[in-house]
Amino acid sequence: MVAMIAYHACFDLRWFGYARWDFEHDARWIAARSAILGTFMLLAGVSLVLAQRRPDARAAFVRHVMQVAAAALLVTAASFVAFPATFIRFGVLHSIAVSLLLARPLVDAPRTALLAGVVVVVAGVAFSNPAFDRDPLGFVGFMTHRPATEDYVPLFPWTGVLLVGIAAGHALAPRLDRLAPLARLPRVLATMGRHGLLVYLLHQPVLVALLWLATQARRLA
C-alpha cells in the first residue's frame, strides 16, 4: 500500500508539472509498477486461500467480488472525467475481480493453481497477436503494444500471478501462527492493510487535492 501511494504521488507530481519522469518508457518506473502490481495480485491469491477458513466463505467471496467490481466501475467513471482520452477500461481492480472468479475453482488445488499460474504468466509475456490489439479482446492480454490508457492490467499474465498466490497461500497457511510475530506493524499500516480497497479508492483524490492546494498556494505566493 505504501509503495502504491508513493508511486501514484510521483505520477501526480508529473501531472501537475513538478517533475518530468517517464513512467511509460523508463525501465525503472516500469519495474516499480510491475513489482507493486505483482504484489497486489499475489496477495489477492493468498487472501483467497485464507478467506476459505471463514464459516461464511462463499457469501463473503461473492460480496468481496461485487465490492471490487463496483469499485472498478467507479474508477472507470472517475478516470473518464480526469482523462477522457485515456480513461481506465481494464485496470487493476477490473483484473482482480475477474481473476478471482476465474481462480476460485482452484482455491483448494494449489499444485494445479501453481502450474496454471506459471503457464498463464509465460503465455502472457511470450505471446502477442494483433487480433488482441482492439476491443473487445484487449482485456485478455496478448496485445502487441500497450493501449492508450492510464492503467492496463490484462488477464494474461496477471491472473497467473494471482494463481501462484493461491499456491503461496497454501504454503503459508500452516505457518501463520509462527509468522504472526514477524508481521506486527504500526497501527496505521495495519489499518491500511485491512481496508485496502478503501485506501485504493481514496488515496488518489487526497493526493490530487493536496497537490492542487499546493499549486494554488504557490501561485498566490
pLDDT (0 to 100) of residue 134: 83
For residue 79, pLDDT beyond 90: yes
C-alpha 134/C-alpha 164 separation (Å) is 28
For residue 182, pLDDT beyond 70: no
pLDDT (0 to 100) of residue 71: 97
- Residue 57's pLDDT band, with cuts at 50, 70 and 90, is very high
**Mean pLDDT calculated for residue range 154-178:** 92
If you ran DSSP here, which 8-state letter would residue 69 be given? H
pLDDT (0 to 100) of residue 180: 67
For residue 108, pLDDT beyond 80: yes
- Residue 26: count other Cβ atoms within 10 Å of its Cβ: 11
Residue 141, SS3?
strand
- Residue 97's pLDDT band, with cuts at 50, 70 and 90, is very high
Q: What is the chain's percent helix, strand, coil content, to nearest 5?
A: 75, 0, 25
The phi, psi pair for 152, rounded to 5°, reads -140, 115
pTM: 0.92
pLDDT (0 to 100) of residue 181: 66
CB 97 within 8 A of CB 69: yes
**Mean pLDDT calculated for residue range 140-153:** 94
Kindly state the percentage of the chain with pLDDT values over 70. Answer: 97
Per-residue pLDDT of 3-32, as tens digits, reads: 999 999 999 999 999 999 999 999 999 999
**Mean pLDDT calculated for residue range 112-124:** 98
For residue 191, pLDDT beyond 90: no
The set of cell numbers assigned to 96 is 482482480
Only one residue has cell 467480488, namely 65
Domain ranges of the chain: 2-220
C-alpha 127/C-alpha 117 separation (Å) is 15
For residue 205, pLDDT beyond 90: yes
C-alpha 13/C-alpha 21 separation (Å) is 9
C-alpha separations of 133 from 4, 37, 38, 71, 143 in Å: 27, 22, 23, 25, 5
**Mean pLDDT calculated for residue range 46-74:** 94
Q: b/e map of 134-158 (b: 16 or more CB within 10 Å)?
A: eeeebbebbbeeeeebebbbbbbbb
